[in-house]
Structure 1
Amino acid sequence: MEACMDFLDRLDPDILLKIFTYVDDPYDLVRVSSVSRSWRHFVIANGLWKQLCLRKFSQLSRVTHVVELNQCWAVGAVEVGSTYLKEWEYLERDDRAYALLARASTTFIDRDCISKAISASSTDNYPQESIYNTLHPANNVRGRASYWSSKGQSNPAVPETLVYKLVDDFCVITEINLRPFQVYFHEGLPIYSAKSVRFRMGHPKSPTDSGNDLPGYSLPDSADDKFVWTYTSQEFPMAQESHLQKFRLPEPVLCVGGILQIELLGRVQRCEIDGLYYICISLVQVLGRPLSPAFGVEILEPCGKFVLKIKNHRPFELQAQSNHTVNGTVAEAS
């Protein structure tokens, strides 16, 4: 019988790494790790799980190191001066962490990830027209119209921003939905939408800027003075229509720090009463998945890098499957 050949022993390591960079599905990488001990060793030694996560989420380049809280995996005793064994322990820790993160961030059903409204760049009538109203799905609450309205501007190019706290400091965000408000109590039923919209995600510059104590109608300073933005989306055109408009991000985004800013760019509707341009939004939805309780982050000031913390020490069992759910849809494994 002809002996089996392991091509890991025959190919140059650089060529092997190039080949494995094409493995973008966590389930495929599980299969790779399960071939043999030598393949498993290759995956760990070259940090293939970390590389996969970095390709999916550039925000992870800001991770300084990984910490396992209440570690439950058995690790053999490491002798003093055994540098290789210590380094291998670190590699195995990163392998576990990024394998868990890859599974958690690519296989899930979208849910609403907004925790609360923090602030708006302006509000016409507070609290009747505050940003808090954008969290209610109904256009009418307790007999009163429910929406946020900006202050009026004579210049239609003046932008507005809405800032929200997400349900977790570590979330994967896939889609953001907005519904412009149709003012049914004005003649002509005008819709005060924006021309376009852009999204930013990031974290507070300091714990005191987390949004817990900020007023709900306007920031005392520019939002850029309070937060660090680690992601900025493309600009999406917005229709002057009162239905829920869905803005699917080109790729899922890892929000580190739990802060979302919505930039409303340009005004299209002028109020016939005062001749000023307004923007009115009745509903905001942010879809994705919080990564707690398995994960946590610690932002390091002032550099903005962060420590990735693994809190849940029962690792996901990544098993090769012929069918699996990805971002709420069933994908056939090839």
Structure 2
Amino acid sequence: MEACMDFMNQLDLDMSMKVLMHLKDPSDLARVSSVSRSWRDFVIANGLFKHLCLRMFPQLFKVAYVMELNNCGAKEPVEVGSSHSMEWESLARDHRVYATLARVCTSFHVRDCISEAISASSTDYYPAETIDNTLLPAAIVSQGAYWSSKGQSNPAVPETLTYKLVSELCVITEIYIRPFKAFFQPGSPIYSAKSVRFRMGHPKSPNDLGSHLLGDSLPSADDTFVWTYTSPEFPMAQESCLQKFRLPEPVLCIGGILQIELLGRVQTQEMDGLFYICISHVHVVGRCLSPAFVVENLQPSGTFVLKKDMLCEFHTQESSSDNEAQEISDDQMRRRFRYLRNYLRNSNAIVIEEYESGEEEDVVEIEEYESGEEEDEA
């Protein structure tokens, strides 16, 4: 034991950095910080947690600076003492914020990250075939429960579906999309796209998410949003199932906007010979980082202030199941009841698909509804 020594003291700065920068798991770097005071000081002084977060999520290069919040508001360094002590406090604050960020990005529960639909590039019959249909909790595949584009004679014309996520900071890992099968048309055609691509970003200004975006006459999304990430292009199968598109790496969406680009058309409608794309369900899987972290002063350039809430770092995750269920219910219950009521009145059959996170196959239940049958009393 007397012969033990700290090998870090025997290495120069560049070599020590090279060794520790090979650590990719936040928990490993946290263990390094716990070895000794000198190791912790080394991690803080060289911003190793910040470097780790930047490797995990290049979108964080747009962070102008970080802040800590408590119940009294922002926690800023007190300007007393030497400039060295103030610089060290700034480094320590960055360490705490980025260490927490790295941890929550890998430990928060996976959930559905879509909050609401914003707009579609086109809609064939609004509002019957609105983009809102793609967010029903159980995708109801019937004559009215899908989004449809306008018809095009050129199959290369793309379409876009734009959604607002549950918070301005979400780590997105995969997206599920189900093309619509028109069982009421001859041959039951499936109106899928040839391929799909995903973009994430933020509004150019807070007012760009106002009521003027709701409806069938919408401005171009490229004029409204700044896109900070664009995924590779994924082929889409012409199959009526929940198709999984996994991103090459988890993406930190800063600004809370997701756009689905539907590229190319494969199916014509018999009555007019035009190409359409129809989608019955969209599901986005990831981790919501709010309220532990919030974004402020998001500029058109993409720079922003990252704030860590010291009081609610993890409190939402331990008891999130009931709260998330209530949030989903509040957002979508009216829509669910309205559609279910209309379909029960006007349709002979309803096909309901239940989505289970982590499962790749659909579980389909068919409930037959015969008009004229005796109904239960309310």
Query: What TM-score results when the alignment is normalised by the length of structure 2?
Result: 0.79
How far did 1:144 drift? 4.7
Structure 1: distance between partners of 2:312 and 2:270: 61
Is contact 1:131-1:217 (8 Å) kept?
no
Structure 2: distance between partners of 1:251 and 1:79: 41
Q: Which residue of 1 aligns with 2:5?
A: 5
Q: Which residue of 2 aligns with 1:253?
A: 251
How far did 1:213 drift? 4.0
Structure 2: distance between partners of 1:9 and 1:314: 38
How far did 1:67 drift? 1.0
How far did 1:237 drift? 0.3
Q: Which residue of 1 aligns with 2:123?
A: 123
Is contact 1:71-1:313 (8 Å) kept?
yes
Aligned pair in 2 of structure 1 residues 134, 117: CA closer, same or farther (>3 Å)?
Answer: same
User: 5 Å matches for 1:71-90?
Assistant: 80=80, 82-90=82-90
Q: State the one-letter code of the partner of 2:206.
A: P
**Which 10-residue stretch deviates more, 146-155 or 284-293?**
284-293
Aligned pair in 2 of structure 1 residues 132, 6: CA closer, same or farther (>3 Å)?
Answer: same
Q: Which residue of 2 aligns with 1:209?
A: 208
Q: State the one-letter code of the partner of 2:225.
A: F
User: 5 Å matches for 1:10-25?
Assistant: 10-25=10-25
Q: Choose between structure 1 and 2 for higher RCO, CA contacts under 8 A separated by at least 6 residues.
A: 1
How far did 1:91 drift? 0.7
SS of residue matched to 2:101: helix
Structure 1: distance between partners of 2:79 and 2:171: 40
Structure 1: distance between partners of 2:312 and 2:152: 54
Structure 2: distance between partners of 1:167 and 1:287: 11
How far did 1:157 drift? 0.2
How far did 1:70 drift? 2.0
Aligned pair in 2 of structure 1 residues 115, 199: CA closer, same or farther (>3 Å)?
Answer: same
Is contact 2:165-2:257 (8 Å) kept?
yes
Is contact 1:178-1:246 (8 Å) kept?
yes
Aligned pair in 2 of structure 1 residues 36, 156: CA closer, same or farther (>3 Å)?
Answer: same
Aligned pair in 2 of structure 1 residues 171, 46: CA closer, same or farther (>3 Å)?
Answer: same
Provide, for residues 276-320 of structure 1, a one-character-per-residue CA deviation record: whole Å limited to 9, x for no partner: 000000000111011011000013333220100112336569xxx
SS of residue matched to 1:41: helix
Q: State the one-letter code of the partner of 2:258.
A: L
Q: Which residue of 1 aligns with 2:286?
A: 288
Q: Which has a greater percent of helix?
A: 2
SS of residue matched to 1:229: strand
Q: Which residue of 2 aligns with 1:320?
A: none
SS of residue matched to 1:69: strand
Structure 1: distance between partners of 2:71 and 2:99: 16
User: 5 Å matches for 1:63-102?
Assistant: 63-70=63-70, 80=80, 82-102=82-102
* Aligned-pair identity (%): 68
CA RMSD of aligned residues (A): 2.1
How far did 1:217 drift? 3.4
Is contact 1:103-1:316 (8 Å) kept?
no
Structure 1: distance between partners of 2:313 and 2:152: 53
SS of residue matched to 2:284: strand
Structure 2: distance between partners of 1:121 and 1:302: 22
Q: Which residue of 1 aligns with 2:172?
A: 173
